[in-house]
Amino acid sequence: MSGRVILVGAGPGDPDLITVRGAAALARADTILFDSLATKELLALAPAHAEWVDVGKRGHEAPTRPQDEINALMLERARAGRVVVRLKGGDPFVFGRGGEEASACAEAGIPCEIVPGVSSAVAVPAYAGIPITDRRHGASFAVVTGHKDPGRPAQDTRWGALGTAVDTLVILMGMRNLQRIVDELLAGGRSPETPSAAIMRGSLGTQRVVEAPLRELPARVESAGLGAPATVVVGEVVRLREEIRWWEKEPLFGMRVLVTRAFEQSSELASALRTAGAEPVLVPMIELTAPTEAARLEALDAAIDALPDFDGLVFASSNGVRFLDARARSRGGDLSAFRGQVFCVGQKTANVALSAGLPVHVVATGRSDAEGLLAQILQAAPAEGRRFLLPRSDIGRTVIADGLRAAGARVDSVEAYCNRRPEVDAGRLCEELESGTLGALTFTSPSTVDHFVDLLDESARRAAGDCLVAAVGSTTAAALRRHGIEPDVVPKRPDPRALVEALSSRVRAMRAANEEVDPR
């Protein structure tokens, strides 16, 4: 096989701003060379076999690896026949040295594809409510790096001329030299009263913005403690921020929210939290793996071989679909041999089943849990004398299997995947809770609750009581109550986005009642 390199722009910070083509490139990567500014959440889009290499570049700070070494590593992997994704913050060709990396590929005869990204030059001001062009205030803009020292010879960056050449000036990587840059702009004739803003961690729930007249901006930035990464905007368009700022108005803006779900499954919940303005803090309390014990694999394989003999296939979670399908495909087959009825606990599970090539006949509605699904299976047709297959986890509940057996059915309940406890830095978790930096805690299964509680000391457990606690459904809520934790939020349907909607509604209600809501 011949390898290739794909330069992918990761966007300004929010992983949801990756392009569709960028996500597709990650999905077929063998090796990913990623910058520190490209969020690691994007790595969940890569296949399990992919190699991850942090090359550590953070703007003007010293890189973990020199550029020549990054180029050599990139070419080495591509020559070995691998698909190499070079994941870069923002856009590869906007002060990202993507041109140098593309040239290295061209010189080496390695195919290179460019996937543009959402540049922080336009996205970060947009998240601050600042359009870099607006016919009322500015029809032209320039983007410039502040990394170069403005005191060096004029051929580097002609700040004096640049300051009056365009209506809006966007400066990237300029925080270290901000005072000298502003001095040069003022000396070149830019009005000291020009509206200006510095935006730190733009597009994230931790975004901070400082506005000031140009002459006062460096002092205001220093006083507020802003640092890199940050984007500076100079121009009349900054006046529009007061009117159209939107990101800070999202219901969970600035709130740090603990996500305890398995890393591979956390993307939907994390995305919903980010959309509401929160900062997801991913600390997985469970890890889902395929079974490895011979006896369990034999039972699972026997069930797959006997698929034509089952009348019903019951999925109490999307994980059951994924792992059953993966095992079937690993043996050179698929689930198409099944001809009976397929029952799914909710629409998300149904969608995964459809993607696996299965028909879906019944989806639990209303109460989308094991009890609700059991009721709908029994309503669909008499269970007596019929044979059902239930792929489940090694710690899965037996509600459906017991109910079907009680109704006279034959039930094969097989372990399709295992629920493990990953390594968690308990000391750091307790410190986060005790310091009050977490505003809300989310739980999506009883096993996430059990592991979380087992990690806490008494002080951290008391501190957890000061957070908003959200459970995805009634079963998880019951697990919290068993540990003496009363959930504040339980959505009407057990779905990650419904959980975030319910959490947002709770925060809005608290604010409407003039209660203090600390976003932490």
57 annotated active-site: yes
Question: How many of the other CB atoms lie within 10 Å of CB of 80?
Answer: 12
First to last CA, the chain: 50
Catalytic residue among 14, 30, 167, 173: 173
Catalytic residue among 14, 30, 35, 91: 35
Tell me how far apart the alpha carbons of residues 452 and 440 are, in angstroms, rounded to a whole number: 14
Q: CA gyration radius for the chain?
A: 27
Beta bridge mates, 389: 313, 412
Q: Give which of 57, 275, 233 is closest to 130, Cα–Cα.
A: 233
Report the half-sphere exposure of 394 (CA within 13 A, side-chain side): 17
Task: Look at the block and give the residue holding tokens 């090539």.
Answer: 357
Q: Give which of 241, 246, 253, 170 is closest to 204, Cα–Cα.
A: 253
200 annotated active-site: no
Backbone angles phi, psi at 11, to 5 degrees: 90, -175
Counting every residue written for the chain, the total comes to 520
Which residues in 56-140 belong to E strands, given as ranges? 83-88, 112-115
Backbone angles phi, psi at 225, to 5 degrees: 75, 25
* Maximum Cα–Cα distance across the chain: 89
Sign (positive/negative) of CA torsion 59, 60, 64, 70?
Answer: positive
- What are 320's two structure tokens? 């059951």
List the strands of the sheet with 362-363, edge to edge. 287-289, 410-420, 387-393, 312-315, 341-344, 362-363
Catalytic residue among 57, 167, 175, 325: 57
Q: Name the 3-class secondary structure at 4.
A: strand
Cite the active site residues.
Answer: 35, 57, 173
